[in-house]
Amino acid sequence: MTKRQAAMVVCLALALFVWVAPPPSAWRRRVVHITLPQPATSPYQVLQPLSPSITHKNAPNPLRWLEKNSNNKYAVTTGLKLLSPITSHLSQRPRAALISLVRNSELPGLMQSMRQLEYHWNRKYQYPWIFFNDEPFSEEFKQATQNLTSAKCHYEVVPNEHWSLPDWVDEGRFMNSLEYLGTIGVGKGWMISYRHMCRWNSGFFYKHPRLKDFDWYWRVEPDVHFFCDIDYDVFRFMRDNNMKYGFNMNILDDARSFPSLWSRTRSFINAHPELVHPEADLDWLLDPHNSGDYNNCQFFSNFEVGNLNYFRGEANEKYFDWLDRGGGFFYERFGDAPIHTLSVAMFVPKSEIWFFRDIGYQHDINRHCPPHSAHRCSCEPTIMDENFYKLVPLESPQKKPDDTCIRQFLGGHWLNKKEGWNMEGEKLFGGDGYHGYQLTGLEEL
């Protein structure tokens, strides 16, 4: 390049700078705007079902409770050191525990679950862990889990009578059921241990001697994920607001697992109408377009927070015994999720069932993440209907309800559809028929 050409390049560069640069008088006034994540307008994403019982004059106000008692008000440690005053906090604490039914071989998966829940919550609240197994825990298991928490750990064996074939079950018929359900592809339908697990989680866990001094539990499974910081005492929230049961996902279950469950439940209701709560709402679980049968919606029970005294109560105990005596855990594959769902729907008013929308959680392919929570959650927000039919694919011939499970539970404006939308029209254009709702669940509340 000649000197003349170089000079021309420099002149062109200066001209371009003068053209695009702001005048010197504006240099000092220039402001750089940085967008920071904003806290949620409603940080707890409180979603309560439409229920007449919540209008009672003296009904608890969960949102007000959360506003008053969050910011780790009742934490007993920072995760590093004890807080003060600790005595009054501990004296008023609910008698509660984190519980897990787990095998020695599932140690790596359980350690993952523990690390995340301890980091996001329990390192501040120090509730004990209670582990259950159908055989003694190994020393490796005990040492590894205790090293993950400064809370106390207990290691318990399930009584043999709670993990064996009852004498009223025909073993031959049971073996035929294992083969049949495995052949048609029902999830874990061929596993003997899975039947025992479902039965124990349905009606025996709350009877274990170790839990006799506890009133509340939070069930934790191996290989699950917790995505969000939780800044309030979950057990205090349940107790102070008179909640009986808390869930995180409400989704469709595979009806092939429990073909006789609803007919047996109806017969129980007919035999014991006095046990059904006067404010019970079963309508959201019944499909008016399918002869009023059970729509197969379930609270996904691998995440549940519950009142042990509710499960120990007469109504739930009689219901479980009714189902158990019918052999459904062995001749079919009754699961604890639909059984707990039907139980609380019959015996608990909706106002005492809580949707933990604010807790991000994942179990296998089912994932829930609250919206507007980037400041405390490490997950992508999910729409309200995200997990509705993941256990029952769209191509399955199983009849699906017209509305997703969680929307039927919540009711009200969550069921409102877009003007001009219809399910059949959406399906004609390749949709699944569940995208016509006015609200997705990602809106600011």
User: Which residues are tagged catalytic?
Assistant: 304
Strands (E) in 269-421, as ranges, are 286-287, 293-294, 297-299, 304-307, 353-355, 361-363, 366-368
Element (DSSP H or E) covering residue 328: helix 328-331
The answer to whether the Cα torsion of 285, 287, 292, 294 is positive or negative is negative
Strand partners, 355: 247
CB distance 300 to 247 below 8 Å: yes
End-to-end CA distance of the chain: 65
Q: What are the CA-CA distances from residue 156 to residues 31, 115, 131, 271 (Å)? A: 62, 21, 6, 36
Beta-carbon contacts of 180 under 8 Å, excluding residues fewer than 6 positions away, are: 189
Are 150 and 137 contacting, i.e. CB atoms less than 8 angstroms apart? no
Distances (CA, A) of 285 to 79, 219, 244, 294, 406: 42, 23, 18, 6, 10
Instruction: Provide the sign of the torsion angle of the four alpha carbons 394, 397, 400, 405, taken in this order.
Output: negative
> What is the arrangement of strands in the sheet containing 366-368, beginning at the earlier edge strand?
224-226, 361-363, 366-368
> Six-digit token pair at 377?
């959650």
**Bond preceding residue 23 cis, omega within 30 of 0:** no
Contact 228, 376 (CB under 8 A): yes
- Please give the Cα distance from 246 to 138 (Å, whole number): 32
Please report the beta strands in 176-280, taking only residues with DSSP state E, as ranges in sequence order: 216-219, 224-226, 245-247, 250-252
Angle at 359 between CA 357 and CA 365, to 5 degrees: 90
Contact 401, 408 (CB under 8 A): yes
Name the CA dihedral angle for 389, 375, 40, 443, rounded to a multiple of 10 degrees.
-30
